[in-house]
């Protein structure tokens, strides 16, 4: 490319290439680490932002993958430096990793800006780590490439294939109903997570890694490679090799992340029946790229694209099967007529190039458009007097009878209250009730925990009931399913109309009409809210206090208000 940079154009030149007293320090301290001048002088410095941690089983292999990336960077004539950041471990971090998505986004952005880097490789994949790192790196603005952690192997128990999360919910319900024994349940524990890597259903992790790929932020085919496959370290090494050229070519994220690329992500989202969490994340990621995106965009695309990836929790297969069937490039091939194939990718070539190399090896897993998995939309955004800012439901994961339903509300103010009630076998509840959980939004949760798949009351489980209409201002795990209306905005805690709900109110949901309402007048709602006191969620100090003061509502992506947008931050002074 004619615009290729020269060594003195590199950002890191300001640290290493000058002759002032500071640059003496930068060079002598690099020599202190055992590197010779010729190993780093005049070379692109590549930051490897790593979310490896001993408390994140999805990222166990990222320690080794950083080495593979380094191998690629060295081979291409770059200088790799690894920088650890918070891991946002979905399984262990409480109250919810969502509280820390913006923390990791800030840490990524500031780690990039403050160090002598020219390009960046991001290592992550467990749920929030993908959007967080992409948000931060987009705002930092240097060329970057994403190395997705990749899914773990298929689960295996008693001859059955198990999927992360989805089968845990399913068999827990069977255990609660008395259909499987404690011993069988214990056995499942040994077989459900068989290797490092992310959840292997089309949950939040796989959805976000797919988004990263279709947005053009990974090497072609990277997002579905199983973490334990030898193709994975090869992909990591090739990413390290590629980022060096991206630096010389100045392939910055603003050339990749455009309205077109985000529309491509919306198309893939619908085709894979992606996690509802991705709505929030994609809106936030687009916000950092200066691309306006709203829940209405998701709804619009849900009418245009059927579900063609036959993956749990909406379909039958797992990510390992998806990889063998051709992975994301094969899915893109099926969707070619709908995509903006001229969108640029980190490979330096447009999406059409990725599609040109693709082949579908199993068209039961990756279906053609005329033989979809589900004629139901992957996603619907509902509005009404209960949720003026909107809320979402995944119709493909719900029992059809609940997609048009009116029933009496059964309202819980807190998670604990709800938890105790569902175990009470004398609870006054029928399959027609609409279970409601308040105070679980971005501020009230805090951090919008994944409580949205409220457990079916034990009494009903024993009667064979497996789905009910449920409404909350929470999120739900991407591995969850059922008629769960989520992300009610504005949340109850900030005194949205949702706060007014009481047990016995009649809630009507009509997915076809995209509506949700309660049989209350505006005046009744206002009167009830005035008399309502939210539970105490006060943080006297610290990060939680900052989050509560600055977090946006779900329909706006839950970014912090001061992190949004594309206003240029000037390069740090080097004194």
Query: Would you count residue 58 as binding ligand FES (CB under 6 A)?
Result: yes
Mark residues 186-205: x for contact with Mg ion by CB under 5 A, - for none.
------------------x-
Which residue of 477, 480, 508, 556 would you call a contact of Mg ion, by CB under 5 A?
477
Give one word for 48, left, alpha or beta, with left for phi > 0 and alpha for psi -120 to 50. beta
Neighbours of 8 (CB within 10 A): 10
User: From the list Mg ion, ligand FES, none, which binds 91 (C-beta under 5 to 8 Å, kind-based)?
Assistant: ligand FES
Q: Which runs of consecutive H residues, i.e. helices, occur in 395-489?
A: 415-422, 458-462
Mark residues 203-222: x for contact with Mg ion by CB under 5 A, - for none.
-x------------------
Per CB under 6 A, contacts with ligand FES among 63-92 are 90-91
Kindly tell me which of 56 and 553 has the beta carbon lying closer to ligand FES.
56
Residue 442 near residue 553 (C-beta atoms within 8 A): yes
H-helix or E-strand spanning residue 529: helix 522-530
Q: Is 575 exposed, middle or buried (0-12, 13-18, 19+ CB in 10 A)?
A: exposed
DSSP state of 358: -
User: From the list Mg ion, ligand FES, none, which binds 58 (C-beta under 5 to 8 Å, kind-based)?
Assistant: ligand FES
Rg value, the chain, Cα: 24
* Cβ burial 486-515 (10 Å sphere, 16+ → b, else e): bbbbbbbbbebbbbbbeeebebbbebeebb
The least distance separating ligand FES from the CB of residue 278, rounded to whole angstroms, comes to: 13
Residue 248 near residue 7 (C-beta atoms within 8 A): no
Kindly tell me which of 126 and 266 has the beta carbon lying closer to ligand FES.
126
Peptide bond into 446 cis (omega under 30): yes
Mark residues 193-212: x for contact with ligand FES by CB under 6 A, - for none.
-----xx-----x-------
Kindly tell me which of 205 and 454 has the beta carbon lying closer to ligand FES.
205
Which residue of 107, 118, 127, 167 would you call a contact of ligand FES, by CB under 6 A?
127
Which residue of 99, 126, 284, 409 would you call a contact of ligand FES, by CB under 6 A?
126
* E strands in 52-111: 79-84
Q: Are strands 380-384 and 434-437 parallel, antiparallel or unpaired?
A: unpaired
Query: Would you count residue 130 as binding Mg ion (CB under 5 A)?
Result: no
Query: Would you count residue 140 as binding ligand FES (CB under 6 A)?
Result: no
Interacting span for Mg ion (CB under 5 A) from 60-68, 286-294, 472-480, 514-522: 472-480
The least distance separating ligand FES from the CB of residue 478, rounded to whole angstroms, comes to: 8
User: From the list ligand FES, Mg ion, none, which binds 107 (C-beta under 5 to 8 Å, kind-based)?
Assistant: none
Task: Give the CA dihedral 375, 376, 377, 379, nearest 10 degrees.
Answer: -150
Kindly tell me which of 45 and 453 has the beta carbon lying closer to ligand FES.
453
Per CB under 5 A, residues contacting Mg ion are 90, 127, 204, 477
């Amino acid at each position: 490319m004619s615009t290729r940079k020269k060594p003195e154009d590199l950002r890191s030149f300001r640290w290493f290439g000058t002759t002032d007293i500071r640059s003496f320090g930068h060079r002598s301290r690099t020599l202190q680490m055992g590197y010779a001048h010729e190993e780093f002088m005049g070379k692109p410095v590549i930051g490897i932002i790593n979310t490896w941690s001993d408390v994140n089983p999805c990222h166990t292999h990222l320690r080794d993958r950083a080495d593979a990336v380094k191998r690629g960077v060295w081979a291409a004539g770059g200088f790799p430096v690894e920088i650890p950041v918070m891991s946002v471990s979905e399984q262990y971090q409480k109250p919810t990793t969502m509280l820390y998505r913006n923390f990791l986004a800030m840490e990524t952005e500031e780690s990039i800006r403050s160090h002598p880097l020219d390009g960046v490789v991001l290592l992550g994949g467990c749920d929030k780590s993908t959007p967080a790192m992409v948000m931060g790196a987009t705002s930092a603005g240097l060329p970057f490439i994403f190395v997705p952690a990749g899914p773990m192997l298929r689960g295996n128990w008693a001859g059955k294939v198990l999927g992360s999360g989805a089968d845990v919910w399913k068999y827990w319900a069977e255990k609660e109903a008395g259909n499987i024994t404690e011993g069988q349940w214990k056995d499942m524990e040994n077989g459900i997570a068989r290797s490092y890597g992310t959840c292997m259903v089309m949950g939040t992790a796989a959805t976000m890694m797919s988004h990263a790929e279709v947005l053009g932020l990974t090497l072609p085919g990277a997002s579905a490679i199983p973490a334990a496959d030898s193709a994975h370290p090869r992909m990591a090494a090739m990413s390290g090799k590629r980022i060096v050229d991206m630096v010389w070519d100045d392939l910055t994220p603003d050339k990749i992340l455009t309205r077109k690329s985000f529309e491509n992500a919306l198309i893939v989202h619908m085709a894979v029946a992606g996690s509802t969490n991705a709505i929030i994340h994609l809106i936030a990621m687009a916000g950092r790229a200066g691309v306006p995106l709203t829940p209405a965009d998701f709804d619009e695309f849900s009418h245009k694209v059927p579900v063609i990836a036959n993956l749990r929790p909406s379909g039958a297969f797992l990510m390992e099967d998806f990889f063998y069937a051709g992975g994301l490039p094969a899915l893109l091939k099926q969707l070619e007529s709908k995509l903006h194939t001229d969108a640029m990718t980190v490979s330096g070539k447009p999406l059409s190039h990725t599609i040109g190399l693709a082949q579908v090896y199993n068209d039961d897993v990756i279906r053609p458009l005329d033989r979809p998995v589900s004629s139901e939309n992957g996603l619907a955004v509902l509005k009404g007097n209960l949720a003026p800012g909107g809320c979402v439901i995944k119709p493909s994961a719900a029992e059809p009878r609940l997609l048009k339903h009116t029933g009496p509300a059964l309202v819980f103010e807190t998670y604990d209250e709800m938890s105790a009630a569902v175990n009470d076998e004398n609870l006054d509840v029928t399959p027609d009730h609409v279970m409601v959980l308040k105070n679980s939004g971005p501020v009230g949760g805090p951090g919008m925990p994944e409580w949205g798949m409220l457990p079916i009351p034990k009494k009903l489980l024993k009667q064979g009931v497996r789905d009910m209409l449920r409404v909350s201002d929470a999120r739900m795990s991407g591995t969850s399913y059922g008629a769960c209306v989520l992300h009610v905005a504005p949340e109850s805690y900030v005194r949205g109309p949702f706060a007014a709900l009481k047990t016995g109110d009649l809630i009507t949901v009509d997915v076809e009409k995209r509506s949700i309402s309660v049989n209350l007048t505006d005046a009744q709602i206002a009167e009830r809210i005035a008399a309502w006191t939210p539970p105490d969620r006060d943080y006297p100090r610290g990060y939680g206090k900052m989050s509560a003061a600055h977090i946006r509502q779900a329909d706006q992506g839950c970014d912090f208000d001061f992190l949004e947008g594309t206003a240029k931050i000037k390069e740090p002074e080097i004194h």
